[in-house]
Structure 1
Amino acid sequence: MNVREQFHAIMDGAPVDGMPVLEWAYWWDKTLDGWYGEGLPKGLDDRQMQDYFGLAHHKQFWLAHKAEGCPKDASHGSGIITDESDYDAVRPYLLPENAVSRLASQLNALRAPHESGDTLVWYTLDGAFWWPRVLFGIEQHFYSFYDYPELYHHICDELVEWQVRMVDEMAQYVKPDFMTIAEDMSYNHGPMLSKALFDEFLLPYYRRLIPEIKKHGTRVFIDSDGDITSAVPWFIEAGIDGILPLERQSGVDVAKIRELYPDFLMIGSFDKMCMFHTPAEIRAELERLLPTIRKGKYLPAMDHQTPPGTPLENYRAYVALMKEYGAQACADCKK
């Protein structure tokens, strides 16, 4: 089976002959700096890096939600608007109509390897929690639910109208295998908003967007750090297929999620902190995940970017062990 066949079989819970090793979030620059000192060749592009490590071929496109010249935050996370007049002022710089067309050469180049099954294609959109936070800033975003509810809905109305157009335009080039809605709406104690706020300010926009994505055969994942366990039924209600990265440091237990929600798709949950230690501890982490791998609809992967300080040989061991345990899970399921 090729990479795309394996991926979709796993997500369907169907028999598969192997497990692709998907580095869905590429390495930190400081991680790479350490590896260059250990012999990693410099100047490799994404595909060459995948080949170097023996990873599955894939390509992500995060559609640009801002145009050139858009005002920038005065400081990290401070935002660029405080009220309706600010939003009107920056609106010409938001949601550019060329967000897909500017990627045309890359998308056209991927058509053949995608159709042959050699390369997974996926994309990312800012969600109805993430995008208003970008605009309001981290702190003011939480007040905006109460201080500017009409503006919040106006922002999300325009966001989804634009995203539907971009989703349809992208499908004219290639029909992606999956996508992620970027949210980061949880922390280590659970969601950062209530179910009532989710239902009022996020759910209506998911229900408008997700069917438009799925009509192109694309699986829909939420991308949120933190402990998302209690929010899984919220996502299911919205029509979302699955989630990543399932951060172990936040206490996420994929075995528990699989038990409670047997059809919910998952990517991630490999504890990245193991990478500082030894191959034996990497193996122990995969032993923890193996029962869930066997049940299908789950692809183990790093639960965020590989951290700086990871020895290069440990990363090589990680890839090799992921393949070993993928093969073991497939063999076990045939018994």
Structure 2
Amino acid sequence: MNIRERFLATMDFEPVAPPKWEFGYWGGTVRRWYAEGLVRRAGIPDDTLDGATVQGGGAAWWPGRVPDFDVEQTLQLDPGLWRIPLNNYVCPAFDEEVLAQGDGWVQVRDDMGMIVQRRGDRQTLPHYIRGPVETRDDWERLKAERLRPTLEGRLPSTWPAFLERFRERTFPLAIAGMHGFFGTPRYLLGEMQVLLTYHDQPELMRAIVSDLTDFWIALYDQMLDVIDVDVAMIWEDMAYKNGPLISPAMFREFMLPAYKKLTGFFRDRGIRHVLVDSDGNIWKLIPLFIEGGVTGIYPFEVAAGMNVAEVRRAFPRLQILGGVDKIALTRSPEGIAEALADVPWMLAQRGYIPYVDHLVPPDVSWANFRTYRRRLNALIGQSE
């Protein structure tokens, strides 16, 4: 059974051992591990920031992202998900422009049109000030100029080689990945303004969500005429430690119709699995995601109250990925074992791919991560 077959069987709740994947690591984490004994074979690019993502197998890879090879090979993890390298957002991108700078900081308009302030060395997450859309006219202009549903200019020059590899693949292939019905409006409007827009300009929010739905369906429809895929992925990140950033009522009003329309399209095109990525405490949103046609969710942050055993008891047929507490990996071997205590039961319920509940942070030692991963590999091996 190759990894594509194993992934699909896991998503179908069949009695197979799931893929041995990780979500990913911070660049600074991998550098620490090299210093502590991880053998550098492929390495990561020297210009990879400590705060940048090094992707594991559980996060669908596409060109421009830094993949992990060394941890995967050293700890005998499986080849991971790939994503079709289709730009499903602004095209052409905005020209990055420096607007202001000071001692150790710079304010720029980035390639998505957002005005952000960040450290000069780019070693921390940026502060988002505002997006490219403030009014309905802004939205109509951006849509006409940069959200045309055509494949032209949205695929890399190496697409023919990718297509040949995808048609002969033994790994699972995803479509979409980045962007969703909360995540993308946040880029368009800004982190604070997106929340205010639900109240102050509801018609603008409805227009954005409706237009994005139609744009993505038109774009993906063309792509799926060229290549079949195994899973669709949607990015939201719409919750924090104590709950969602919008109420379930707002989700139902503004997002649920769009989810139903998009997932209905996926099903019509033969895509049976739809996974949503959202950090934070999403307990109140899970029933709505399911109602909207979502079949699985990741990465289930433990520190935000997302215990995957409790989620499984509440939602027996939800595909669950992640759910291992990254904070526990900084503790003793006993603490690591405790973090894995629910894994055997979860594996027995099927439909579960265990891995760390987000990027592994730099305060996790290589010795601790090896201990965790070897134990988890053994548990997965026993679950066949």
Pick the TM interval, shorter chain.
0.7 to 0.9
In 2, the alpha carbon distance for the partners of 1:122 and 1:312 equals 30
1:141 to 169, 194, 199: 194
The answer to whether the 8 A contact 1:100-1:169 is kept is: no
In 2, the alpha carbon distance for the partners of 1:268 and 1:126 equals 20
In 2, the alpha carbon distance for the partners of 1:265 and 1:258 equals 9
Structure 1 residues 71 and 47 mapped into 2: Cα distance closer, same or farther (>3 Å)? closer
The CA deviation string for residues 163-209 of structure 1, in whole angstroms up to 9 with x for no partner, is 11232233344433223211111112122212221111101111111
Matched residue, 2:7:
7
The answer to whether the 8 A contact 2:309-2:342 is kept is: no
Matched residue, 1:104:
159
Shift in Å at residue 319 of structure 1? 2.8
Shift in Å at residue 268 of structure 1? 0.6
The answer to whether the 8 A contact 1:274-1:282 is kept is: yes
Gapped regions of structure 1 (runs ≥ 5): 331-335
Matched residue, 1:72:
114
Structure 1 residues 112 and 71 mapped into 2: Cα distance closer, same or farther (>3 Å)? closer
Q: After TM superposition, list the pairs within 5 Å mapping 1:130-169 onto structure 2.
A: 130-169=183-222
The CA deviation string for residues 78-109 of structure 1, in whole angstroms up to 9 with x for no partner, is 22221122223433134663475337246325
Shift in Å at residue 220 of structure 1? 0.4
Structure 1 residues 71 and 258 mapped into 2: Cα distance closer, same or farther (>3 Å)? closer
- TM superposition score normalised by structure 1: 0.88
Shift in Å at residue 231 of structure 1? 1.5
Higher mean C-alpha deviation, range 130-139 or range 177-186? 177-186
In 2, the alpha carbon distance for the partners of 1:193 and 1:218 equals 28
Shift in Å at residue 260 of structure 1? 1.6
In 1, the alpha carbon distance for the partners of 2:294 and 2:13 equals 17
1:82 to 109, 113, 134: 134
Secondary structure of the structure 2 residue equivalent to 1:54: coil
Higher mean C-alpha deviation, range 258-267 or range 52-61? 52-61
Shift in Å at residue 62 of structure 1? 6.9
Gapped regions of structure 2 (runs ≥ 5): 45-65, 95-111, 118-126
Give identity over the alignment, percent.
29
Shift in Å at residue 54 of structure 1? 2.0
One-letter amino acid of the structure 1 residue matched with residue 115 of structure 2: D
Instruction: Report which of the two has the higher share of helix.
Output: 1
The answer to whether the 8 A contact 1:175-1:218 is kept is: no
In 1, the alpha carbon distance for the partners of 2:226 and 2:256 equals 29
Matched residue, 2:265:
212
Shift in Å at residue 273 of structure 1? 1.1
Matched residue, 2:19:
20
The answer to whether the 8 A contact 2:133-2:189 is kept is: yes
One-letter amino acid of the structure 2 residue matched with residue 87 of structure 1: W
The Cα RMSD (Å) is 2.3
1:121 to 173, 197, 200: 173
Shift in Å at residue 254 of structure 1? 1.4
Matched residue, 2:371:
317
In 1, the alpha carbon distance for the partners of 2:182 and 2:85 equals 16
The answer to whether the 8 A contact 1:13-1:297 is kept is: yes
| Aligned: 1:289 with 2:340 | no
Matched residue, 1:31:
29
The answer to whether the 8 A contact 1:189-1:227 is kept is: yes
Matched residue, 2:107:
none
